Amino acid sequence: SLQHISIINDEEMAQRVAVPDQLPCKEGYEKKGCPNTFLASMVDGQKLNLAALERAARCIRTWDYTLRNFFDDCCAAFPELRLYVSQPCDALAHGPHGSSCRKPSKEKVTSSGRTTDDEFQRTVGALFAFFWLMRLDIDGKDGFCYGVDDSWKVKTVPTVVIPDTDKPFCKMSKAEKRFHFYTDGPWEAFEELLLDSGLWVKRHNGAIDTPKERVEAMLVLTAVHDIMKIEALIPIVQA
C-alpha cells in the first residue's frame, strides 16, 4: 500500500482549519447485504442541510459574506465532511457481518497515501479556492493569493514591493510566489472558465449573476469527491 509521511511545520499547522467532530458510530448496527456496515451506520439518519447549502450558493458573491460564513455553511450542509475523521467502533470494526467492514490503519491513511486529516484539509482548500474564484472581481484575488488572518479577515497585497525575479516558480519563496501569482496569474482565463461553465452569467450592464443550482452542484461535487479515498469507507463487492 502507499505510504505517505506528512512533514508539517508549526506555521502550516496554524493554517489548518479545525477538524469537525466525527459522526456517531452506532454499535450493534445491522444492515444485511450492506457493502460497508460502518459507512451505513454513520450516514443512517444524516441529511443534507438544504438551507445551509442554499445560503452558501446564494451569498457566495455577497460583500459581507465571509470565508468563515462560507466554511460554517459548508460544514453544516454536508455531514459527509465529518466522515474524514470517522473511525469504526469495535463492534463494527470486526462485524457484525464479518468482512463487510474494514478497519483503517492506526495512521488513518487513505488510498491516496495521505492521512484522512490531509484529505480533509485538501477538500476544504478546494472549497475555499472555489469561494475565491467566484469572487474574483470582489476580493477573490486577495483571498486566493494571501488568504485570511486569524480573524478570517481577507489579507491584501503587502505594501512592501517585492522585486521581480527570474527564478522559476518552484524556486521562489512563499512571498515571491504569492506576489507573482497575484500580479501575473491567469485571472482572465479564470473568468472565461467561470463564464464558459455557466457559474457566472454576465448581464448586458456588466453585472454578474450566479445560477444557484449550478453553484450548489459544484459545492456538492467538491465536498464529496474524495470521500471514497478513506479506506474504512470503501465498499466490498457482495458475492
Tell me, what's the pLDDT at 103? 41
What's the chain's average pLDDT?
Answer: 83
When pLDDT is averaged across residues 130-147 and rounded to a whole number, the result is 97
pTM score of the predicted model: 0.82
Residues pairing with 208 in the sheet: 202
Q: Rg of the chain's alpha carbons, rounded to an integer?
A: 21
Three cell numbers written together for 121: 484539509
Task: From residue 63, give the alpha-carbon distance in Å to each of 14, 17, 60, 128, 217.
Answer: 26, 22, 9, 16, 22
Three cell numbers written together for 62: 455577497
Tell me, what's the pLDDT at 130? 98
Q: What b-and-e string marks burial along 84-102, b requiring 16 or more CB atoms within 10 Å of the CB? A: bbbebbebbbeeeeeebbb
**Among residues 234, 237, 225, 238, which one has the least CA distance to residue 105?**
234
**pLDDT tens, 62-112?**
999 999 999 999 999 999 999 988 765 544 444 433 333 344 334 566 666
**pLDDT tens, 113-127?**
677 788 899 999 999
Three cell numbers written together for 82: 465529518
CA–CA distance, 7 with 149 (Å, rounded to integer): 23
Most confident of 29-33, 91-95, 194-198, 230-234: 194-198
> Which long-range contacts link 170-177 to residues 24+ away (Cβ below 8 Å)?
none
Three cell numbers written together for 85: 475523521
When pLDDT is averaged across residues 38-57 and rounded to a whole number, the result is 92
